[in-house]
Amino acid sequence: MLPKRHKKRKKQRKYGDLRGKIKGRVSIHERPVIVEKRTRIGDWEGDLVEGKKGSGYIVTHVDRATKYLMAQKIESKTADAFNKATLSMFMPLTPSKRLTLTLDNGKEFSLFSKIEDRLKIDIYFADPYCSWQRGTNENTNGLIRRYFPKKTDFSTITDIELQKVVYKINNRPRKSLDYQTPKEAFSLDNLSGALGT
């Protein structure tokens, strides 16, 4: 009898490897140490909040030190839509208040280099499936969810309604800011002495 030929087993990819790496991405582990300290304004975390399927998304950017939020609706989860919204939010800021931006590894962030070139901002990427590395943004997205729960039809939300929510979040005193609001803290030139340090 001829020996049985065993089929070669296909290698199984680990769960953490399922998302393709973004070309040219720079790891969060190469981010300046000062960003982790939250002692300066201008270090941001970005993300998307998803509405009911097919109803749109909200692009969110949160300053790590002051918790200041910027948000804008987009219709599709594309890199072009994300870039357009991000540029429109960041362009009015002075260069000193747009220093770094940390994102996750979604394909909607794949054209990040265009944002870097236009804003002269350094963009870093968190490790896959490590949302805690962008904890400020995740927590702020949770605040947005209080107003727009999961499966909310974002197509029914107007830009004015969204900005009213952003206003409420930015004008809410925070213990971590020595009971200042994010808006008050972000309006400062620097945080020296503002947080009781």
Domains and CATH numbers, the chain: 20-186 (3.30.420.10)
- The separation between CA 194 and the C-alpha centre of its own chain, rounded to angstroms, equals 25
* pLDDT tens profile 3-60: 544 444 443 334 344 345 789 999 999 999 999 999 999 999 999 999 999 899 999 9
pLDDT at 189: 77
pLDDT at 135: 72
Determine which of 8-17, 82-91, 121-130 has the lowest per-residue pLDDT on average.
8-17
Q: Which residues pair with 47 in a beta bridge?
A: 60
Find tokens 């070139």 and name the residue.
117
Determine which of 8-17, 41-50, 160-169, 171-180 has the lowest per-residue pLDDT on average.
8-17
Q: How far apart are CA 26 and CA 113, in angstroms?
A: 11
pLDDT at 192: 61
* Residue 122 pLDDT grade (very low, low, confident, very high; cuts 50, 70, 90): very high
pLDDT at 130: 75
pLDDT at 11: 39
pLDDT at 10: 41
Q: How far apart are CA 72 and CA 11, in angstroms?
A: 42
pLDDT at 20: 56
Q: How far apart are CA 165 and CA 71, in angstroms?
A: 10
- Report the percentage of the chain scoring pLDDT > 70: 85
Q: How far apart are CA 96 and CA 82, in angstroms?
A: 22
